[in-house]
A = this chain, B = another copy of it.
Amino acid sequence: MAGYSISKDDYLKRLRRIEGQVRGLQSMVEQDTYCIDVLTQISSVTKALQSVGLGLLDEHIRHCVREAAVESEGAGDAKVEEAVAAVARLLRS
C-alpha cells in the first residue's frame, strides 16, 4: 500500500504528539488541574485522533477501495461496506 507508506512518517509524528498530549493529561490530573481545563484538553486530543483517522480513511478509500473496485464489483462493494462500518464506529465513539 504505497500511499500509506508515503505518509507513514507524518502519521507517526502526529501519533507521537498525541502520546505526549496524553502524558500531559496525566500531569494535569496529578496536579489537580481544574476539571474544565482537563476536559478542554481531552476534546483537543480526541480531535487530533479523529483527524488521524480521517487521513487514514482518505488513503484507504483512495487505494484499497479503488483497487478492489477495479478488480470486481463484488470486491469493491465489500470494501465500501467495511469502510462505512468503520466510519460508523468513529461516529459512535
Which residues on B sit within 8 Å (CB–CB) of A76? 62, 66
- In angstroms, how far is the closest chain B Cβ from the Cβ of A38? 6
Which residues on B sit within 8 Å (CB–CB) of A8? 29-30, 32
| Cβ-defined contact, A83 with B56, below 8 A | no
| Cβ-defined contact, B58 with A80, below 8 A | yes
Please report the C-alpha to C-alpha distance between residue A39 and residue B86 in the assembled complex, in whole angstroms: 7
| Cβ-defined contact, A44 with B93, below 8 A | yes
Residues of A within 8 A of B (CB): 1, 4-5, 8, 11-12, 15-16, 18-19, 22-23, 25-26, 29-30, 32, 35-36, 38-40, 42-47, 49-50, 52-54, 56-62, 64-66, 69-70, 76-77, 80-84, 86-93
